[in-house]
Amino acid sequence: MTAVHVVVPAGIDDAARVSGGNRYDRMICDRLRTTGWAVEEIAAPGSWPHPGPVAPADLAGALDRLPDDALVLVDGLIASAAAAVLVPRSTRLRLVVLVHMPLGGDAVPAEQERAVLTATRAVVTSSDWTRDHLLERYPLLPARVHVAHPGTDPAAAAPGTADGGRLLCVAAVAPHKGQDQLLEALAEIADLRWECTFAGPLDRARGFVATLQGRAAAAGISERVRFAGTLSGEALQREYRDADILVLPSRGETYGMVVAEALAAGLPVIATAVGGVREAVGWTPSGQPGLVVSGDDPAALAQALRCWLTTPELRRRLRAAALQRRTTLPRWRETGDRIAAVLLAVSGGRC
């Protein structure tokens, strides 16, 4: 039996700390176990990538208890901020880093992330955009940087409504997710019929949430906007089934897992053209299953929403494309198998 030790953030299964990265890690660990791997999860305490003074020592202790040549897959949220722990141990352990989002130069110093990624046996990214970004920024061997797109679960197709007015935004309510841009766009189309649900944690930026609620009231649209809080499982799937379109106004995404989840339910999307979002949206014989607009441009977002709400032919075309894209999205089985192949290559000394 092939064994791997997976370093994940503590609280990976905490329903109050839902994130795309946590879900990705959980699905991969479960898939590896299903296919016969012995998986030991090492929960790294601390608020990574800013864990505090104690957490790195705890991580170092956990790694030092592993045997020589142990295969270790480390979540990038931890790895990019743990150069002092990982680099000295990279010759004894077979380290692989899973990068959900590059952090160098932003949340951590770029030289720290560079040191970790250049010391590991392989890097796995969740999008082609992320792979390209890392290869442009750091002296990494292309053959050692791999892509494993996030998977999706089969979902029932959303029936949609005639007027397309049920809008859904799924993301933590925080500045980097751009809900302020969406709210501004909604105020611009207040003359049209719509309602919008914001599904996502409300405790990441409480001041931002309060500002959004105040702006909605000032614009006279607060009764048409619902902040549903953290949703997962069947509750989130119900939102996808009840919606007409997903709107993701984010200021930065390496892929956009919620885009893929929406498309898995046959929902078209309106999203900002940031990071790897276009990868998640994809293309079909009927065209793109959504509208991709420039980032940080509420006017462009408002125009896209107006087109969706006032053009029945556009709604028909985007819905048809979304149903086609639904059948070509990667499944979690494929994602897990891709990562397993990288781990096997590292374990066998071929990477």
The pLDDT-based confidence of 348 (bands split at 50, 70, 90) is confident
Measure the CA angle with vertex 68, ends 64 and 73; round to 5°: 75
- CA atoms of 315 and 243, how far apart (whole Å): 13
The pLDDT-based confidence of 351 (bands split at 50, 70, 90) is low
Of residues 286, 246, 293, the one with CA closest to residue 265: 246
- The full DSSP string for 295-313 is TT-HHHHHHHHHHHHH-HH
- The full DSSP string for 59-75 is HHHHHHTSPTT-EEEEE
- CA atoms of 60 and 146, how far apart (whole Å): 26
For the chain, what percent of residues have pLDDT higher than 70? 99
What are the Cα distances from residue 193, in Å, to 31, 166, 190, 309, 339?
A: 43, 9, 7, 8, 45
| Residue range 148-159: mean pLDDT, rounded | 94
The pLDDT-based confidence of 220 (bands split at 50, 70, 90) is very high
- CA atoms of 283 and 323, how far apart (whole Å): 11
Name the region of 149 (left: φ>0; alpha: ψ -120 to 50; beta: rest): beta
The pLDDT-based confidence of 17 (bands split at 50, 70, 90) is confident
Query: Residue written as tokens 């509750």?
Result: 235
What does the pLDDT look like over 58-73, one tens digit per residue? 999 999 999 999 999 9
- CA atoms of 184 and 211, how far apart (whole Å): 12
- CA atoms of 333 and 349, how far apart (whole Å): 24
Report the chain's mean pLDDT, rounded to a whole number.
Answer: 96
pLDDT at position 217: 97
| Residue range 257-269: mean pLDDT, rounded | 97
Q: pTM of the full predicted structure?
A: 0.94
- CA atoms of 284 and 316, how far apart (whole Å): 14
Span of 8-22, 194-208, 227-241, 307-321 with lowest mean pLDDT: 8-22
Going along the chain from its start, the domains and CATH numbers come out as 3-151+331-347 (3.40.50.2000), 166-326 (3.40.50.2000)
- CA atoms of 343 and 223, how far apart (whole Å): 51
Radius of gyration of the chain (CA): 21
What are the Cα distances from residue 2, in Å, to 32, 66, 270?
A: 10, 15, 42
| Residue range 81-103: mean pLDDT, rounded | 97
pLDDT at position 154: 86
pLDDT at position 18: 84
Q: Which two tokens stand for residue 337?
A: 């198998």
| Residue range 148-167: mean pLDDT, rounded | 96
Measure the CA angle with vertex 126, ends 248 and 42; round to 5°: 110
The distance from CA 275 to its chain's CA centroid, rounded to whole angstroms, is 11
pLDDT at position 1: 65
| Residue range 328-341: mean pLDDT, rounded | 97
Q: At residue 203, what is the residue type? A: D
How many beta carbons lie within 10 A of that of residue 88, not counting itself?
12
Q: Which residues pair with 38 in a beta bridge?
A: 3
Q: Which two tokens stand for residue 128?
A: 């082609």
Give yes or no for a contact between 263 and 221, defined as CB atoms under 8 angstroms apart: no
Span of 49-53, 193-197, 220-224, 297-301 with lowest mean pLDDT: 49-53
- Counting Cβ atoms within 10 Å, is residue 118 exposed (0-12), middle (13-18) or buried (19+)? middle
